[in-house]
């Protein structure tokens, strides 16, 4: 039996953030990324309701302690809407604040990066003692997502690349996941093709393509929250908690190797995705190779590290912690929807490839 639900109302367009005022909330708790606190956007958003408070302590990869501080503020302030203004980190922090406070407030997500898809997902990732814990629950899915291209004009190149590879990875993993359906496939393949084609222009400074990539991030989020993810995300969670490399950058390093490792079970899907995206490959083996090589080429074009060493993590550090890494990967819920059963040897093989030993 396949199920697909679209619980989030999505409002999109340049200047869409102003629509928040029309939603008629009376007490807003704005959970804001520091970049938007500094440039005044958080205050502007807070002004869309008669009473509001800004929670301005969001930091990348929100910790359980940070979420607990936010929960205390929600319990005291009693908002009727919690508005997340920022990337995956601000959105996940706001989700955790709503979830653990037991508040009945509506959750409004205003993503300012084009990547995590958290604005439409049932996921929130919290970090505790160097371990990233994915929470998965239907109550974490935002009620409203506002996609405003005008919030994306100042994104630095590195963020465009990192978050962009998160979209590509969500799309590839959702497309090949065991929970994929015709509806999630349609969303995942469009998200992949659109972002793959537009990322170089966005990276080069073309702001006109950014809303398109923003929508692709949301589509990839809609796909993976229903279809599931896979080994790439399980490894990115394990390595991200330990080595503090941005999530999308880790996905960029890992994804080509994961495609190689999963090809025995997902080759047909990977080849179909390559053909849909104009990368060719009539034979399955060629399609898989084209997809993998195209991602490696794009990674280079977007100025990203090619392996963990280039991302600042020496191979010896990885091998020193390899037992812990393998354990964390196998315990990650994302493995459950990977197209092939994840085993110890696969994780080690991928670690060899991304540390340059392979
Ligand atoms: N909940 C989910 O479904 C889901 C899915 C994937 C990833 N994640 C999580 O999301 C987090 C990553 O999120 P992210 O990639 O969106 O980055 P982020 O939210 O961590 O932000 C990264 C940096 O970009 C800055 N920034 C954000 N928007 C900006 C803008 N428009 N202009 C300039 N600077 C801006 C922030 O200040 C921050 O320094 C990770 O913790 C990851 O685990 C969650
Ligand atoms: Fe992700």
CATH code of the domain covering residue 32 = 3.40.50.1970
Same domain, 167 and 316: yes
Which ligand 1 atom is at minimum distance from the Cα of 124?
1
Is 3 within the bounds of a domain? no
CATH number at 303 reads 1.20.1090.10
Show the domain range for 101.
9-152
pLDDT score at 358: 57
Residue 178 lies in a domain: yes
The number of beta carbons lying within 10 Å of the beta carbon of residue 128 is 12
CA–CA distance, 166 with 229 (Å, rounded to integer): 12
* Ligand 1 site, residue 158, Cβ cutoff 6 A: no
d(CA 293, CA 173) in angstroms, rounded, equals 17
Q: Quick one: which H or E segment has residue 135?
A: strand 131-136
What SS3 class is residue 144?
strand
Which residue of 57, 86, 211 sits with most ligand 1 atoms within 8 Å of its CB, as the best mutation to test the pocket? 86
Same domain membership, residue 219 and residue 95:
no
| Contact yes or no for 164/325 (Cβ under 8 A) | no
Shared-domain flag, residues 91 and 182: no
Inside any domain, residue 128: yes
How far is the CA of 75 from the CAs of 29, 66, 72, 347, in angstroms?
A: 11, 15, 5, 42
Cα Rg of the chain (Å, integer): 19
Which residues are bridge partners to 54 per DSSP?
Answer: 30
Distances, alpha carbon 178 to alpha carbons 6, 45, 210, 286, 321, in Å = 20, 40, 31, 23, 29
CA of 160 to the centre of ligand 1 (A): 10
- 332 plus 349 within the same structural domain: yes
> Which residue, of 92, 126, 152, is where some domain finishes?
152
Pair 182, 329 in one domain:
yes
Listed residues 109, 132, 152: the one ending a domain? 152
Structural contact between residues 71 and 100, judged by C-beta atoms closer than 8 angstroms: yes
Q: Is 123 in the pocket of ligand 1 (CB under 6 A)?
A: yes
The predicted pLDDT at position 269 comes to: 98
Task: Report yes or no on 1 lying in a domain.
Answer: no
pTM for this structure?
0.96
pLDDT for the residue 5 = 84
Contact yes or no for 40/152 (Cβ under 8 A): no
Q: Are residues 105 and 223 in the same domain?
A: no
- Per-residue pLDDT of the chain (358 residues), as tens digits, is 778 888 899 999 999 999 999 999 999 999 999 999 999 999 999 999 999 999 999 999 999 999 999 999 999 999 999 999 999 999 999 999 999 999 999 999 999 999 999 999 999 999 998 888 889 999 999 999 999 999 999 999 999 999 999 999 999 999 999 999 999 999 999 999 999 999 999 999 999 999 999 999 999 999 999 999 999 999 999 999 899 999 999 999 999 999 999 999 999 999 999 999 999 988 999 999 999 999 999 999 999 999 999 999 999 999 999 999 999 999 999 999 999 999 999 999 999 999 986 5
Q: How many CB atoms lie within 10 A of CB 182?
A: 8
Whether 181 and 102 share a structural domain = no
Q: Which residues contact 1 (CB under 8 A, 6 or more apart)?
A: none
82 and 123 share one domain: yes
Task: Note the Cα 137 to chain centre separation in Å.
Answer: 16
Q: 81 in a domain, yes or no?
A: yes
Cα–Cα distance for residue pair 234/237, rounded to 1 Å: 5
**Nearest protein CA to atom 25 of ligand 1, as residue:** 35
Same domain, 344 and 195: yes
Q: Decide if 256 is inside a domain.
A: yes
Q: In terms of domains, do 181 and 225 share one?
A: yes
CB 199 within 8 A of CB 214: no
Residue with tokens 């399980």: 234
User: What is the total count of domains within the chain?
Assistant: 2
Tokens of 264: 């025995």
In this prediction, residue 130 carries a pLDDT of 82
How far apart are alpha carbons 142 and 84 in whole angstroms? 10
Please name the helix (run of DSSP H) or strand (run of DSSP E) that holds residue 20, with its range, or none: helix 19-22
Last residue of a domain, one of 152, 181, 210: 152
Per-residue pLDDT at 134: 85
C-alpha 72: how far from chain center: 26
How many angstroms separate the most distant Cα atoms in the chain? 61
- CA–CA separation, 207 vs 218, rounded Å? 18
> What is the number of helices (H) and of strands (E) in the chain?
14, 8
Residue 18, domain member (yes or no): yes
- Cα torsion 202, 207, 208, 213 to 10°: value is 50
Instruction: Find out whether the beta carbon of 34 lies less than 6 Å from any atom of ligand 1.
Output: yes
Specify whether 231 is located in the same domain as 138.
no
Cβ distance 348 to 326 under 8 Å? yes
Whether 120 and 21 map to the same domain: the answer is yes
Q: Is the CB of 214 under 6 A from ligand 1?
A: no
Between the CA of 233 and the centroid of ligand 2 the distance, in Å, is 6
Which distant-in-sequence residues (6+ apart) come within 8 Å of 104 by Cβ? none
Does residue 2 form part of some domain?
A: no
């Amino acid at each position: 039996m396949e199920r697909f639900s679209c619980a989030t109302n999505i409002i999109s367009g340049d200047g869409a953030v102003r629509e928040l005022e029309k939603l008629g909330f009376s007490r807003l708790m704005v959970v804001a990324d520091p970049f938007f606190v500094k440039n005044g956007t958080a205050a502007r958003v807070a002004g869309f309701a008669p009473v509001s408070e800004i929670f301005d302590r969001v930091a990348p990869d929100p910790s359980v302690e940070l979420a607990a501080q936010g929960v205390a503020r929600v319990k005291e302030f009693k908002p009727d809407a919690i508005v997340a203004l920022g990337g995956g980190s601000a959105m996940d922090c706001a989700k955790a604040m709503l979830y653990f406070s037991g508040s009945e407030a509506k959750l409004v997500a205003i993503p300012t990066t084009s990547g995590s898809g958290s604005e439409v997902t049932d996921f929130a990732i919290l970090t505790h003692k160097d371990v990233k814990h994915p929470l998965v629950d239907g109550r974490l899915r935002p009620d409203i997502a506002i996609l405003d291209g005008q919030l994306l004009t100042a994104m630095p190149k590195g963020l465009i690349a990192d978050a962009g590879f998160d979209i590509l990875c969500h799309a590839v993993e959702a497309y090949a996941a065991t929970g994929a359906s015709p509806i999630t496939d349609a969303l995942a393949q469009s998200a992949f093709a659109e972002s793959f084609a537009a990322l170089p222009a966005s990276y080069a400074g073309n702001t006109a393509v950014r809303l398109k990539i923003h929508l692709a991030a949301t589509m990839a989020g809609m796909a993976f929250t229903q279809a599931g993810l896979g080994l790439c995300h399980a490894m990115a969670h394990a390595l991200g908690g330990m080595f503090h490399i941005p999530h999308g950058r880790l996905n960029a390093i890992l994804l080509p190797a994961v495609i190689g490792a999963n090809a025995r079970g997902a080759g047909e899907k990977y080849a179909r995705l390559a053909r849909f995206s104009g990368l060719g490959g009539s034979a399955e083996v060629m399609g898989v190779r084209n997809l993998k090589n195209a991602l490696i080429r794009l990674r280079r074009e977007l100025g990203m590290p090619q392996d963990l060493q280039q991302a600042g993590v020496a191979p010896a550090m990885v091998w020193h912690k390899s037992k812990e890494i393998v354990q964390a990967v196998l315990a990650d819920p994302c493995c459950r929807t990977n197209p092939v059963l994840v085993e110890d040897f696969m994780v080690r093989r991928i670690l060899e490839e991304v540390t340059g030993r392979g």
